[in-house]
Structure 1
């Protein structure tokens, strides 16, 4: 199993840079940040943009992969997003992962004054958003005319450093979003489930993920996609049952997720205050005591 962390863009770069360096030096496989204009838990507190943060992170790290968890159509356009992702893939020397999702209700969905969209429209927009983003990252020049997006001669020279394109990680917990992921994703993402997505934090555990994995396998079969060709990433940001409450708790959780077929586990980087308040020493011990065995097992499986 590969293990990563989410570092919230909620501090100045001078304060955050040591965290990104530490994750790289501790040997974690990937590091992510949330892509929002404002986030529900920290609406009136510092919050910085995701892609500039990842660009700075690329400059202070050497090996860890970097990603968005996740960009959405709430205020992103595929052409400008793809252009920025290509640039970040170059700056990071091929370490970029582009995480995308459908978007949910909340501040990001309202800030530009766009009319509200229902679930059906949101899924249709997401399908088109993902299809166009995928094309842009694969092609030198793209023309596209859809119901939601248009691209006329969108040029992406020189293209991604990673070929045929940088990895797409697609967040998908419902059947319609899963169909999008089955068609386009290199990595499928879940963070569990929430009664009010975007307004209330998700709850996630191995039972929820196991059921979602089964549904995703079925969707892959229906769409003709080999399920084994898609990595399975769980973001365990559960506030009630933190993965970082102890080293043993993390090791047990990781083992149960691995048995369910999860290939990648992501946890929040410990903060001094909520949300995701935890002891940094636990993450350090996970890196030394648990991470090597998980990575070795993943390497044997892939080999």
Structure 2
């Protein structure tokens, strides 16, 4: 069974309304809460949508225990130096509760808004992006000359609260990304299999196959696979874990059997996407979370 549970809270409400959701996630006993980092998002392109970094700073101010994170920051519109500074700042504001989620990014609404062409060698760009972010967060002073990114005389003061740096979560499903996660990450993240222009599909079978590749990549590097947390984001529109408390318990068990340590689901909304009953999440909080080691750590 997965031992920690988190939620995704979309940055799609004015803060006067959203603050209560972040507080409630903590009060319910969830281990972590995440938000999407996009300029715009496919389902809500013409609806309210706010920036991830200020949202998480505000969330840190209204919570005390809940871990907070991005799903995920990408090279599509982030530079490693600026992102590392923002991450260090969020780490400080949250008193060490921030996890920086990174991903390769893909063609989609963000790229369309920014009029970006498809990235050449997206995997190599992401590897360099993640490696430079890692260096910046570990070191007081960095100068870096790469193929895609440059950084000259960057000072990171006062640095991260946790040493050698704050936790990194790397979203990856392909061989190159999984290898990168095994080498750099504290958390490996999957949302199943992505389909161009559509929401990803995730099942325990898909995740078990991916988790096996992650364990193999760790072994190849000489890393103990159990030092890498494994988090699955289950945002299926059909067969949602939030259909009932029983469905949630089954998902928690099956994804745990697939090798995952953490399960993340969308926080219920009144309207699509992720429309669901808050009552189910309340049942989960009352009947399931208290029995999970690490749910309130």
Normalised TM-score (structure 1): 0.95
1:29 to 23, 28, 31: 31
SS of 1:188's equivalent?
A: strand
**SS of 1:3 mapped into structure 2:** strand
Distance 2:23 2:142 in 1: 37
Report what 1:291 is aligned to: 289
RMSD of aligned residue pairs (Cα, Å): 1.4
Q: Is the 8 A contact 1:103 1:109 kept in 2?
A: no
The Cα of 1:115 is off from its aligned counterpart by 2.8
Alpha carbons of 1:240 and 1:126: their partners in 2 closer, same or farther (altered >3 Å)? same
Alignment match, 1:248 = 246
The answer (yes or no) to whether the contact 1:251–1:290 under 8 Å persists in 2 is: yes
Q: Which runs of 5+ in 1 are unaligned?
A: none
Q: Deviations for 1:4-59, whole angstroms, at most 9, x for unmatched residues? A: 00000011001111000000111100000000000001111110000100000000
* Structure having greater relative contact order (Cα 8 Å, sep ≥ 6): 2
Please give the alpha-carbon distance, in whole angstroms, between the structure 2 residues aligned to 1:234 and 1:10: 22
Judged with a 3 Å threshold, the aligned counterparts in structure 2 of structure 1 residues 57 and 298 are, in CA distance, closer, same or farther, namely closer
Aligned partners of 1:110 and 1:116 also within 8 Å: no
- Residue segments in structure 2 that go unaligned for 5+ positions in a row: none
| Cα distance in structure 2, aligned partners of 1:296 and 1:88 | 22
CA distance in 1, matches of 2:247, 2:86: 38
Counterpart residue number, 1:83: 85
Q: 1:202 aligns with which of 200, 213, 237?
A: 200
Residues in 2 aligned to 1:222 and 1:111: alpha-carbon distance in whole angstroms: 40
Give the superposition deviation at 1:296.
6.1
Equivalent runs, 1:1-150 vs 2, <5 Å = 1-118=3-120, 121-150=121-150
Spell out the pairing of 1:138-177 with structure 2 (5 A cutoff).
138-177=138-177
In structure 2, how many angstroms separate the alpha carbons of the residues matched to 1:211 and 1:101?
20
| 1:220 to 2:222 alignment | no
Partner Cα separation in structure 2 for residue 195 and residue 88 of structure 1 = 32
1:267-294 CA-to-partner distances (Å, cap 9, x unmatched) read 0000001111000111111011001112
Would the aligned equivalents of 2:34 and 2:71 in 1 still touch at CA under 8 Å? yes
Q: Which residue of 2 is the match for residue 211 of structure 1? A: 209
Q: Distance in 1 between matches of 2:151 and 2:176?
A: 24
Aligned counterparts, 1:256-275, within 5 A: 256-275=254-273
User: Paired residue for 1:279?
Assistant: 277
State the distance in 1 between where 2:187 and 2:76 align.
Answer: 21
Q: Is the 8 A contact 2:191 2:232 kept in 1?
A: yes
- Give per-residue Cα distances to partners, 1:197-255, cap 9 Å, x unaligned: xx210011111100000111112222332211100000001111111010010001101
CA apart distance, 1:297 = 9.1
CA contact (8 A) 2:4 2:294 kept: no
Asked whether the 8 Å contact 1:10–1:47 carries over to 2, the reply is: yes
Shift of 1:161: 0.9
**How many pairs align?**
295
| Shift in Å, 1:174 | 0.6
CA–CA distance in structure 2, aligned partners of residues 245 and 14 of structure 1? 28
* 1:169-193 CA distance string (max 9 Å, x none): 0000010111111110000000000
Q: Cα distance 1:290–1:12, how it changes in 2: closer, same or farther (>3 A)?
A: same
- Under a length normalisation based on structure 2, what TM-score does the superposition of the two structures give? 0.97
